[in-house]
Amino acid sequence: MTDNDEVLWSGGLGIVRKLEHSGFQAYLVGGCVRDKLIGRSLHDIDIATSAKPEEVMATFARTLPTGLKHGTVTVMEAGRAYEVTTFRRESDYSDSRRPDEVEFVLDIVEDLSRRDFTFNAMAFGSDGMIVDPFGGQDALRAGVVDCVGDPSERFGEDALRMLRAIRFASEFEFALLPDVWEGIIQHRQKLRNVAMERVSAEWDKMMSGSGPEQANHFLFKSGLLAHTKEALPDSVKLAAERYRLNGSTWEWDKWGQATSEEASLGNLLQLPMLSEPDHRWAALLMGAGINEEDGAELFRSLRFSGKRSDRITGIMGINEMLSVYDENSVRTGWVYAVLDYGRAAAEDWCTVNEILDETLADARKWLKEMPVVSVSELNVRGDELARSLDKPPGPWIATLLEELLEEVAFGSIPNDKDSLLSAAKQARGTSNEQG
């Protein structure tokens, strides 16, 4: 564990002890206990206590009432935030997402029994003892994702748990137990009850994690993507369905690596070789045969920012443009693609191509050799063109600048002002003659 992890852990135990000194039960719970046991970095610390929210707020100097309805208070200690939640039981999940009723209880085991997976249903006391009523440590040792109680009930209560099961399995290189997988298949239609923002967050975490290839294998094989609250593009659903039907030769060993090369998404196995999530998204969709337009529609559905969507679909768009050129004309296609999508997208495409394909090994060299890739890099401005040609400003300037950009990019004219103005006069003269 890092120094920061130790500080977080110690700070959490300090809050536990202060609650105990005030007469309450308290424990570190959930993900922080799991991550401590398997040596993963800690992101936050959650604490469960028998103290009611108002009692927690009375115990600490700085608190925030972040979720009083569900018993949660954020305690601020040494500039760090710790979520402290009252022991509770939950009942009835009519929307397959959130409990209809929350009741505060006094027993840590009852509180742990409402949680999703056994390795998330452990508590750590100030005495160093672990409360583990459902075998969370056994699941960690065995490398499996196991639910607290009946998986069908857990997924029926909260449909988001199906995506979380897949994320944990892929991130930890764990196996999904057969009854967990069957529960996902049984309740996959209930994913329609989960907000697209939550689906997006889980899928993006999978793409950012250590096992994106296994995560997507489970997503496609489960059929979950056919049941999102908002329909995904038909091409995405069809690609997932093809994989579900034809990718059955993929058999995953305990480390999450496919034991067969056969699959219908060509780049799936190579996703971990790409370090950036946006590059992984582009590779995944290109491997699935998704075009730029459908990629943009997918990211609108997933509520991606316009900036991220443009970056990913830019890589996909360059790929589409290059696909229509043969080996004798591909450099011409490359120049047009760079002019259309810009230097940043071209560099992203090079990174993805160099790792996944290497079919255009000279692309990065060609990019460096291009004298300009955007109008802003031309050594002439629109107002200078207007004065030189003695014409009032208008839309013609943008058109002419684009023509000059293409000429310079292909090396037909140098990028100096005199040459550009001369070429502009010649172009306008030819245009006037044709008019």
Q: Which amino acid is residue 433, in one-letter code?
A: E
The string of pLDDT tens digits covering residues 88-109 is 988 666 666 566 677 899 999 9
Domain finish residue from 100, 115, 134: 134
Question: C-alpha angle 368/369/371, rounded to 5°?
Answer: 100
Say if CB 236 and CB 290 are below 8 A apart.
yes
Assigned domain for 422 exists: yes
Rounded mean pLDDT of 283-294?
93
Assigned domain for 385 exists: yes
Over 80: is that where the pLDDT of 119 sits? yes
Q: Look at residue 99 in the predicted model and tell me its pLDDT.
A: 64
How far apart (Å, rounded) are the C-alpha atoms in residues 294 and 159? 26
Domain finish residue from 134, 161, 177: 134
Rounded mean pLDDT of 267-294?
92
The string of pLDDT tens digits covering residues 146-184 is 999 999 999 999 999 999 999 999 999 999 999 999 999
Assigned domain for 279 exists: no
Domain count, the chain: 2
CATH for 417: 1.10.246.80
Q: Would you call 86 helix, strand, or coil by DSSP? A: strand
Assigned domain for 113 exists: yes
Q: Would you call 291 helix, strand, or coil by DSSP? A: coil
Reading the block at residue 34, the tokens are 């799991």
Rounded mean pLDDT of 313-324?
95
Domain finish residue from 75, 104, 134: 134
Rounded mean pLDDT of 184-209?
97
Q: Look at residue 433 in the predicted model and tell me its pLDDT.
A: 46
Over 80: is that where the pLDDT of 264 sits? no
**In the 8-state DSSP scheme, what is residue 126?**
T
Chain-centre distance of CA 23, in angstroms?
43
Over 70: is that where the pLDDT of 248 sits? no
Over 50: is that where the pLDDT of 254 sits? no
- Indicate the burial class of 410 (C-beta count within 10 angstroms; 0-12, 13-18, 19 or more): middle
Q: 123 pairs with which residues across the strands?
A: 29, 131
Domain membership of residue 380 as a residue range: 374-435
Q: Look at residue 422 in the predicted model and tell me its pLDDT.
A: 95
Assigned domain for 248 exists: no
Dihedral (CA of 361, 259, 163, 42) sign: negative
- Indicate the burial class of 262 (C-beta count within 10 angstroms; 0-12, 13-18, 19 or more): exposed
How far apart (Å, rounded) are the C-alpha atoms in residues 114 and 134? 11
pLDDT tier at 142 (50, 70, 90 boundaries)? very high
Assigned domain for 297 exists: no
Q: What percent of the chain has pLDDT over 90?
A: 82
CATH for 18: 3.30.460.10
Assigned domain for 356 exists: no
How far apart (Å, rounded) are the C-alpha atoms in residues 207 and 304? 14
The string of pLDDT tens digits covering residues 319-331 is 999 999 998 999 9
Say if CB 247 and CB 221 are below 8 A apart.
yes
Over 50: is that where the pLDDT of 394 sits? yes
Rounded mean pLDDT of 365-383?
96
Cβ neighbours of residue 74 under 8 Å, at least 6 residues apart? 63, 64, 66, 81, 82, 83, 84
Assigned domain for 221 exists: no
Q: 216 pairs with which residues across the strands?
A: none
- Phi, psi (degrees; rounded to nearest 5) at 250: -75, 120
Burial 76-87 (b: 16+ CB within 10 A, else e): ebeeeebbbbbb
